[in-house]
Amino acid sequence: MAVLNVLLLGNPKLHEVSHPVKIHDVSNLKGLIKDLHDTLMDFKRRTHAGRAIAAPQVGVMKRIIYLYIDRPIVLLNPILSRKSRERMVVWDDCMCFPDLLVKVKRHRTCRIDYRDTNWNKCELSLEGDLSELLQHEVDHLDGLLAVSRAIDQHSFALRSQKRFLTAHQPWKALRPSKGRASRQ
């Protein structure tokens, strides 16, 4: 199939709300799903990052997420529920702004209900990194970008400057130091 162009920050299409997939659409999704796979794998090969992609990131305004961690999972019409009250602060990254990190708050746990490509109802209970990841991808379906969820005006950093954020993996949850109050 094809590696598709990922829309970049500034493209107004990224702010559009996606349309639900209908049961009669499913038979026509095979090519798009392969293209999402190829696009994600190409991004991962070039940047050593990328675990999921939402269809709107390549200009297809359908509620589809392609997730690949240890195996592919296609989520049609995903809905987040059971979002925990507990939040975590993460440095979020995105294929649409690959050189930028944005500090956001995400629910530590949640559940996602969706349809698979056989139109079966499915659900996943998520926590930590996966919870953050799927919240990020569902935001794309709703026309929201991490830059819109930034905690404050100091919540932006270039990936090349991540050494100033934390010693390791700035996109993971930040933990307050012992003996200091957390402002989260």
Find the CATH number of the domain harbouring 72. 3.90.45.10
In this structure, is residue 182 part of a structural domain?
Answer: no
In this structure, is residue 173 part of a structural domain?
Answer: no
> Can 137 be counted among the known catalytic residues?
yes
Rounded distance, CA 64 to CA 160, Å?
Answer: 31
Q: Which two tokens stand for residue 27?
A: 């038979």
| pLDDT tens readout for residues 89-126 | 999 999 999 999 999 999 999 999 999 999 999 999 99
In this structure, is residue 4 part of a structural domain?
Answer: no
In this structure, is residue 177 part of a structural domain?
Answer: no
Which is the catalytic residue, given 16, 127, 132, 137? Answer: 137
3-class SS of residue 68: strand
Q: Are 64 and 75 in contact (CB under 8 A)?
A: yes
Q: Which two tokens stand for residue 138?
A: 């569902």
Domain interval for residue 141: 12-164
Nearest-CA neighbor of 92 among 138, 156, 154?
156
In this structure, is residue 175 part of a structural domain?
Answer: no
Give the pLDDT score at 176.
36
| pLDDT tens readout for residues 12-53 | 999 999 999 999 999 999 999 999 999 999 999 999 889 999
Could you tell me if residue 169 is left (phi over 0), alpha (psi between -120 and 50 degrees) or otherwise beta?
left
In this structure, is residue 3 part of a structural domain?
Answer: no
Residue 58: what are its φ and ψ, rounded to 5°?
A: -115, 15
Domain count along the chain:
1
In this structure, is residue 96 part of a structural domain?
Answer: yes
What pTM was estimated for this model as a whole? 0.87
| pLDDT tens readout for residues 56-82 | 999 999 999 999 999 999 999 999 999
